[in-house]
Amino acid sequence: MTRLKLPKKEFKWSSKIAYAVGLLVTDGNLSGDGRHMTMRSSEVSQLRTFKKCLKLSNRIARSKNDGWGKKPSYRVQFGNVQFYRWLIKIGLFPNKTYTIGKIKLPSKYFRDFLRGHLDGDGTITTYKDYYNTFKNPKYIYTRLWVRFMSASKTHIEWIRENIFKLIHIKGHTAQAKIYRSYQTARMWHLKFGKKESTKLLSWIYYDKNVPCLKRKRDIAKKILKLISKEKRRKYTRIRDK
């Protein structure tokens, strides 16, 4: 059966499919031939998880174009006309970086998609804040931010709307410059503070067996454990006489 005569196929949504789609949205590419797709990452473990989610046997190869700061970059390329067409149907397309919008997926699997998005182009930032230790040596706090990024404002706003609809946290959006190797790119950020990030990470990592980038999950688990042990300390207000 030729490529043009292949019947349409609906792929059944699952946590694995949704996670893989999240990765493809951030670090994937659909070629213009209507058949081939490529997923890139600087972490081989992430590509192995991606392959497992889609049941691929294709090899992982070293990319000719290395990533940020000359970090090694790897890729998985595969061809599947029916899956390609299905991705087009749900909102992906070639050269999607600046114009991608919403992705058509069930709300049930949005957090799996979001976890893939976080593993692809998101960050979990945490540090210890010693700013108020001059008042009391015990005033040490854990700071936490979770951030999602996209060159498309429409896409980042769609993510924000869905997160608010599902778990009622807002975050805030802003545009910033990102410096990559020899070029500067403008990216839209969706950023959540400590309280909202705690709720978001607990929601995203709802089961120990969900597909994810282990490195980021370990960071999330560690910080959530630390925050759960923290107790809010009262400040003493000093009034002028």
Q: What is the DSSP string of 179-208?
A: EETTEEEEEEEEEE-HHHHHHHHHHHT-ST
Q: Residue 238: what pLDDT?
A: 38
* Per-residue burial over 137-150, b = 16 or more CB atoms within 10 Å of its CB, e = otherwise: eeeebeebbbbbbb
Q: What is the pLDDT of residue 237?
A: 43
Please state at what angle helix 15-27 crosses helix 110-121, rounded to 10 degrees: 30
In order of their start, the domains of the chain are: 15-229 (3.10.28.10)
What single-letter amino acid sits at 46? Q
DSSP single-letter state for residue 147: E
- pLDDT for 94-123, tens place per residue? 999 999 999 999 999 999 999 999 999 999
The pLDDT value recorded for residue 241 is: 36
Enter the pTM of the model.
0.88
Owner of token pair 């600046």: 98
**Bridge partners of residue 61, in order along the sequence:** 75
SS3 of the chain: helix, strand, coil, percent, to 5? 40, 20, 40
**Average pLDDT per block of 10 residues along the chain, 241 residues long:** 64 97 98 97 97 97 68 92 97 96 98 99 89 73 93 98 98 85 80 98 97 97 89 46 36
Q: Please give the pLDDT value at position 236.
A: 42
Amino acid at 120: G
User: H or E element: which one contains 99?
Assistant: none
